[in-house]
Structure 1
Amino acid sequence: MEAGKRPLSLITKYLNRNIRVTLKNDLMYEGTVVECDSFMNLVIEKAVEYQDNNKKAMYPRILIRGNNIMYIQLIPESIE
């Protein structure tokens, strides 16, 4: 895989942007990704937790272990 196309390269490119992370246990988090390491562990600020598309909790800062991640999506910025 080309160096610029690796998943980790894409995540680090979008630091400080809003993302949606779906975990293997079907929980979903939305927030601002502020850190990412070589194991794809993510630190997300202003995280909102969803279960079955219902808001469950809000956290100022969370750590998501990389091996629990199923999907990562970039949330488009709203146009004003």
Structure 2
Amino acid sequence: MIEFGKKDNFLALIEDYIKYYRGYSIVEITGISEEGNLLHINCATKFKKEKTYSEELIDIEYLNLLGFIYENYEKMRHENH
């Protein structure tokens, strides 16, 4: 179970992914939709001294591949140490 507001490696991976591919400088995952299929994300882009805020909804199915990669990466990392 993911605890929102508490940073763990998987949330950090998702946030970094969103920053890189969506071009945001600040990303915070705030929760899951009632239907359980969308992540609510607060985002901001900082340009000079101005910040532009927005809220994104990202389909969780789209992120399943990230979860699979992360789980296997963690398994391999622990097996190799």
Shorter-chain TM-score: which interval?
A: 0.3 to 0.5
Considering fraction of residues, name the structure with more helix.
Answer: 2
| TM-score computed with the length of structure 2 as normaliser | 0.40
RCO higher in structure (CA 8 A, sep ≥6): 1
TM-score by length of 1: 0.40
